[in-house]
Structure 1
């Protein structure tokens, strides 16, 4: 996409935290007139992770804090967003959006742009596309280069495991979502949601084998039989947005789960960062994942081989 000054958006609504991170990193705050309830926290995470600070940054963050909150996509407040008279809305999620959804914002279909970002290459393309949209292509190319340098810096510290652990990334356990966490429902003894998006790629970069999700997949529901048949060596039980269900259904107490090798072998970990999340902070998630794989590898029994004759 190429955006000249004549069709550059002047009133843009961001309905995705990863979009807002990129807009902030590109210095395009002045065109943003609305955001989601999670955007400010995500921008703060970007600032902390990348070490960005200063008076100008504080002032720019204040602009975002003062913006109207549209809720969270896909449950955004369409009427409130439309009242802001945006000339473009940027979202991020699985699948395409159609003419009907664009009309709910009072927009032409081409003015509602969704980024179905599932791989590292997709994320680079998203950054470059947003750079074109806000007429900052050079800044976008520089941001892609900086992100790659951060990833490569993490990988330079990598220690590959002796074996390739089969890793299950549990993204969520809620089978019935509700904005009020107390009203969410879960039955992890039968079903869990496994993470796709960046998770499979990051697991492979750490020397692991992703289970029940491959590169380019979105998140997916799987039943416990599939988990048992996959025989995970490691389980990453991510606490999705501090969901209380994750705390009330610990892995070791779920029906059937204690028979899994990862559970009986105490290889269940709770990462702080979401390794599936396609945003500018994924190198930090990669670094944490590398640490967990190293912890797992160090806990595995090693063959005691005589370095002289190779005997045990």
Structure 2
């Protein structure tokens, strides 16, 4: 993927910063640069980072080290972001990263919606790199910072009723009811959730027949959420990309996990996608225009556009790869504000 060293150089630059700015806005740089390098845009990475510099802040102050004995009291405490990053840096330096991931995945999964799903998305990008390229110190550190961000922003959804079962992921997303008051931020919106449609068919999303079915259902969900952006992305062009990129992050992590964790991963991914859909659903769908461009041409457009969410969503759309997904990627380019001139 990266023959120039651009990714490691970029990650070294990014790791001097924290995962957020202004106390709640996410640092998207590690995810965007990974996608740029993945799709042959290494030459644009440092220019993109130079422009993104104003969106970076130093790592917050440290408080008390997180340890194997006190981690439960630190879970979900955003004031401990630096403590958590330090903890996972130590863990991934001392043990194989897959072992650390397998231990912490079930602990973190219930809080998948925390940080507006950005921590799990960052984790998905980091794991994809480690699965498909050689391990390096910056790539291991990136996973550590992603997991640390997730632990600090861990925020389980409230108790939700399960409504009537739907036959497909697309039908289930269509059946998700918008939250009553869409005037506030995502935390306020998620507090209004009361129920989700039942999907996949059966006792629940975390009770699939087995790991392979869970993986296949997860692929179905990613495709359905990506397709839905083509017709519904105008509801909130930035936030609605996460309905697709969050479950795709989970899908990217599956090969690194023990298979027995796959069904629960599907359940969490469905909850995250449905939650974002409910929080930002528009009143009505809109038509989209089919595209004739190649995937490579569309990603080049996204890279030139420069918006971090657009880059990440286009990356997911290319994973899906069909005509509607590519049209959805173009729709994100049209709807979101360009970052690079």
Q: TM-score, normalised by structure 2?
A: 0.24
- Structure index of larger Rg: 1
Judging by fraction of residues, say which structure has more strand.
1
Judging by fraction of residues, say which structure has more helix.
2
Instruction: Work out which structure has the larger RCO, using CA pairs closer than 8 Å and 6 or more positions apart in sequence.
Output: 2
